[in-house]
Amino acid sequence: MKVQHGAQFRHPGLWQGNWQSESKLTRFDSSLSTLKSLASSLAELSQQQRWLVLVNPPRSGWKAILEEAGVAMDRLLIVRCQDELEGQWAVEQALAGRTASAVLAWLPKLEERDWRRLNLASKKAQCRGYLFQQPKPSQSLTHAIIPAHRSNWIH
């Protein structure tokens, strides 16, 4: 590290700051039935006056599921990305920001290295992250519901 007049300059990278020991990013099957199982939790989160960020949601089906569950549709922030890299960047930025209750992303092709990077970003996040992917034969995706309320959230 550079030292100037006795002071060390610190890099503002992700490894600094207030870390949580657990990841807040969960992988799910990309089917709409999985979104339906999360919808009631998302409806609760949408009442917090923070955004529900949807990155590359499917072209159809998701809106009716969320409306039916009572999600405040004016609290949705839809992000459409041109490619996978842009989608990953959007997820990372949404997790790092302090204005979202939850980040939902549909990223079908995600390398293990990229998953680890997003997982690391989620540890510093103040919201939950839900990643919807097509399951690979060797990959088991969770179908469990993560509780909507956590004591360390900022409301």
- Summarize pLDDT for 2-22 with one digit per residue, the tens: 445 555 444 344 444 444 556
**Predicted local confidence at residue 31, as pLDDT:** 81
In angstroms, rounded to a whole number, what is the distance separating the alpha carbons of residues 64 and 88? 25
pTM: 0.72
Q: In what order do the strands lie in the sheet with 76-79?
A: 25-29, 128-133, 100-106, 51-55, 76-79
pLDDT at 137: 58
pLDDT value for 153: 39
Number of CB atoms found within 10 A of residue 90's CB? 19
Please say if the pLDDT value at position 102 is more than 90: yes
What confidence category does residue 98 fall into, taking pLDDT thresholds of 50, 70 and 90?
confident
Angle ∠(96,115,20) on CA atoms, nearest 5: 50
User: Which residue ranges form the domains of the chain, and what is each CATH number?
Assistant: 22-133 (3.40.50.300)
**Does residue 130 register a pLDDT over 70?**
yes
The pLDDT value recorded for residue 21 is 53
One-letter amino acid at 81 equals C
What is the rounded distance in angstroms from the CA atom of residue 145 to the CA atom of residue 15? 28
